[in-house]
Structure 1
Amino acid sequence: MALHTLDQLQTLTQRALEKAGASAVQAAPTARALVAAEAQGLASHGLSRVPMYAGHIQAGRVIGNAQPRIQAERAGAVLVDAGNGFAFPACELAVKEAIARAKNCGIAIGAVCNSHHFGAAAYHLEAVAAAGLVGLAFGNSPAAMPAAGGKRAIFGTNPIAAVFPRQGAKPVTIDLSLSEVARGKLMVAAKKGEPIPLGWALDAQGNPTTDPAKGLEGSMLPAGGTKGAMLALIVELLVTALTGSQFGAEADSFFVKEGNQPKLGQVFIAIDPGALAGSATYVERVEALICAMLVDDGVRVPGYRRFDLADQATSQGIEVTEATLAPVRAIAG
């Protein structure tokens, strides 16, 4: 595998998306997000998604020249309509608005409707932490998990992310899907022809499987059983009932080219620590807990592995397999 700079990958990815029919408004932030995921070691949310995204533009599932716009707003709340474009430009606007409004109101919510796959949830919170705010992110996705006690996939893997800024250090960053693993890991395993562990997925008949292709046709198992399914329900309601977005069960799979416009929802919450117990108290409490955690050998601050990989990728470049890059180059022409 050859080394590539992040700028090279950004240029290639943006060109591929534009060749597929995306405007610069849509392609540039989407490419940034995909390359950032690749740099952080999140291959399932990185360049492997480019052919899927390009196919969705070509099939009309994504509007390539969509312009995100504010649909509704109050002092501490804003709803951004993604216009059935990619999620990333709309999420950028929603997060920017949430940050500005939280600084005035103490807390603010930026929500997105008529959206698409929003990648690694924590990516959207980097700007929140950089502004010294606590951030939360939620999003739904096409149905992949059953409700508690059910057999039919109705919820997506519905990721949750949180960031807690630190003084003089990178933020605590937590990012997890509510399935046992992210569905994108099955996509990567299927492309490589590798098996998956038992406990990740069920086939279409509801049987445990180690075949990622059968898992993609079936359903994912929730993390923590019933508790994971209940958390998925919370996310589903937050990002659909508040935004008017479609349920995961109403959105066709991302892993096929043809299908409907997913019209999914995302919610971002920004909180100013200074509005509550105060910034000094916040910093002291965060550092006290991190110090207590790190007393035990083997404990890592959540998110720091991603930061280390991203720093390394920035300074040294990043290795990407030819199997991943070849389809992107083909689309880019």
Structure 2
Amino acid sequence: MTPLTIDEATRLATRALRLAGAGEAMAASTAKALVSAEAQGLASHGLSRVAQYATHLRNGRANGSAQARVVQHKGAAVLVDAAQGLAFPACDLAIATAITTATTLGVCFAGVANSHHCGVLVDHLRAVAEAGMVGLAFANSPAAMPAAGGKHPIFGTNPVAAIFPRKNADPLMIDLSLSEVARGKLMVAARDNQPIPLGWALDSEGRPTTDAKAGLTGAMLPLGSVSSPKGAMLALIVELMVTAVIGAQFGFEASSFFVDEGNAPRIGQAFIVIDPGALAGKDVYFERMEALVSEMLIDDGVRLAGARRMGLEEKAKNSGLTIPDALKDQLDRLVA
């Protein structure tokens, strides 16, 4: 294992992305997000993605010179065009615009189209909580899961996320993939030649598998798919929210993130920002939040949503990161 400070990791990731063709702002925004994910213990969305993004930039699957811009703003509805660049600058713009709009109107729906992989979805909402607002987020991704009762991949793992600010405490942060596990976990298992549990994925023939590489070429299983179609139905809702509503591509129209060659995915993200002050009022909101948290913590063993990842991130700020030697070697090759 190789130790790195947060600054060292950020500089390494930024340089790798710049050399692959990303503009300065895009590289900086993306590197910051990936290092934050690594610091939170989310290796599947952390520095392991640098090589993937760099390859997509070099192969034209992502446009390093793209400039995200607001292309539609009607009342509380905002549409940002990521221009086929990496997702992070476009999501930053969408969130900033949504906060400003919600401050005036009480709520905002901001969509991002023509986008790419957006990393840890809930992290885009941190600025929302810092502004004292509630945030919801949705994203689609290249096809990895079948529809309820089906066999071939149609939907992505289509994560959903939410953030709820607290007074004088870290926000509650919820982030979950609608597959049984995030697909990035298969990517890490495949890289490390580790098996995966049954119930995570199917191979290309539709058979349950413990082989991570076979799962990546097959299909992910929806959340709760063994006993219920609920995960697949939720994935359908997210798919329509970020495609039919904002004009992004369907997951089955986008080439997998896990192949070097392919099309620009042009998938989407959507964010809803709500000002509690426009409804029951912020005093009521914060009182109700703390009442619920207090009730939850009556039981030993309850862990507040997001507490573990934020604790790990705080620790990493002080003592740095530790990444596999193979990953460090990969990053070094990218900047050589």
Scaled by the length of structure 1, what TM-score is found?
A: 0.99
Instruction: Indicate conservation of the 8 Å contact 2:164/2:173, yes or no.
Output: yes
Deviation at 1:294?
A: 1.0
Q: Does 1:262 align with 2:265?
A: yes
Instruction: Indicate conservation of the 8 Å contact 1:38/1:47, yes or no.
Output: yes
**4+ residue stretches of structure 1 with deviation over 6 A?**
none
Distance in 2, Cα, partners of 1:73 & 1:192: 45
Alignment-derived partner of residue 217 in structure 2:
217
Alignment-derived partner of residue 95 in structure 2:
95
1:241 partner SS? coil
Distance in 2, Cα, partners of 1:295 & 1:325: 43
Give CA deviations for 1:46-96 in whole Å, capped at 9, x if unaligned. 000111101101110001110001111122121110000000000000000
Instruction: Indicate conservation of the 8 Å contact 2:151/2:206, yes or no.
Output: yes
Instruction: Indicate conservation of the 8 Å contact 1:99/1:108, yes or no.
Output: yes
CA RMSD of aligned residues (A): 0.7
2:73 partner SS? strand
Q: Does 1:320 align with 2:323?
A: yes
Aligned-partner residue type, residue 254 of structure 1: F
Instruction: Indicate conservation of the 8 Å contact 1:30/1:86, yes or no.
Output: yes
Q: Does 1:286 align with 2:289?
A: yes
Distance in 2, Cα, partners of 1:250 & 1:316: 43
Distance in 1, Cα, partners of 2:149 & 2:200: 17
Deviation at 1:165?
A: 0.2
Which residues of structure 1 form unaligned runs of 5+? none
Aligned-partner residue type, residue 62 of structure 1: A
Distance in 1, Cα, partners of 2:195 & 2:137: 31
Among candidates 241, 244, 248, match of residue 245 of structure 1: 248
State the number of aligned residues.
Answer: 333
Instruction: Indicate conservation of the 8 Å contact 1:146/1:152, yes or no.
Output: yes
Aligned-partner residue type, residue 57 of structure 1: L
Instruction: Indicate conservation of the 8 Å contact 1:47/1:325, yes or no.
Output: no
* Identity fraction in percent: 60
Deviation at 1:288?
A: 1.0
2:259 partner SS? coil
Give CA deviations for 1:156-183 in whole Å, capped at 9, x if unaligned. 0000000000001000000000000000
2:243 partner SS? helix
Q: Does 1:296 align with 2:299?
A: yes
Deviation at 1:25?
A: 2.0
Distance in 2, Cα, partners of 1:323 & 1:231: 37
Distance in 2, Cα, partners of 1:307 & 1:95: 21
Aligned-partner residue type, residue 277 of structure 2: G
Instruction: Indicate conservation of the 8 Å contact 2:2/2:328, yes or no.
Output: no
Scaled by the length of structure 2, what TM-score is found?
A: 0.98
> Once structures 1 and 2 are overlaid, which stretch shifts more, 317-326 or 149-158?
317-326
Distance in 2, Cα, partners of 1:169 & 1:236: 33
2:301 partner SS? coil
Aligned-partner residue type, residue 321 of structure 1: P
Alignment-derived partner of residue 329 in structure 1:
332
Instruction: Indicate conservation of the 8 Å contact 2:44/2:185, yes or no.
Output: yes
Instruction: Indicate conservation of the 8 Å contact 2:199/2:221, yes or no.
Output: yes
